[in-house]
Amino acid sequence: MPSSPPASSAPSGLRLAAMVRACLGLSTRQLAHYLGVSMGFVTHLEAGRKPLPGALLPRLLLLARLLPPPLGTGLPLPELPPPHDPLLPLPAPERLAPPLPDAPAPPEPETLRRRLRDQRLRLLTLSQHLAAEQARMAGLARRHHGLALLRAALPPPEAAEAAHYARWLARLSDDLTRDDPTPAVRAAALHLLAARVAGLRAEVAALAV
């Protein structure tokens, strides 16, 4: 059975459950399944409305070993860039090339204003979409990281607990495969979306001069 952290640094059961979920990217349902309780119980536990029964402590401590130091010995999640801010100020517009001597007359101001209005709206929409996709990517990265830690960890010494742990890991793997079936395709789509937002920001900055 895993040993408890020192009393001076051990968080309460409700804090420990929330920290384990956040670190390993577990949903309430996934943690409840491993502990053998209902989702409602985990919610009450994390809200401080119910205490952590002693019978659940060994399973929770097994997961708590994977927390980053000083509470555990797990590796921290690599730092991810912050999600895109849709209200980020526009960059300084690059100097536009002067028109060629035989170029047609510049477009009417109303045409430029209409284009600026449309592209601003499009930029706001795509920026919000980009921020949401980056947040989703961060959540999936946390789940991939957590699953790798759980797979590399020593299983419980008791045969019945080890079998329960193995079945739980298999379900976590199935859940992640379902929610992130093609990570490379997702990463490429996110990169293209970020490029579209960058292009729109440059266009809007130039039109707004």
DSSP class of residue 97?
Answer: P
> Which single residue is written with the structure tokens 């929610």?
179
CA 190 to chain centre: 14
Q: Measured between alpha carbons, how far is residue 28 from residues 21, 31, 125, 197 in Å?
A: 8, 5, 31, 34
What pLDDT score was predicted for residue 90? 76
Exposed / middle / buried, residue 139 (Cβ in 10 Å: 0-12, 13-18, 19+): middle
Burial level of 197, CB count in 10 A (0-12/13-18/19+)?
Answer: buried
Q: What is the pTM of this model?
A: 0.79
What pLDDT, in 10s, does the model give residues 162-176? Answer: 999 999 999 999 999
**Rounded to an integer, what distance in angstroms lies between the CA atom of residue 93 and that of residue 90?**
8
For 36-48, how does the pLDDT look when each residue is reduced to its tens digit (9 = 90+)? 999 999 999 888 8
Q: Yes or no: say if 58 and 168 are a contact pair by the CB < 8 Å rule.
A: no
Q: Please list the ranges in the chain whose pLDDT falls under 50.
A: 1-10
* pLDDT score for 97: 54
pLDDT at 2: 43
Tokens of 21: 């979920």
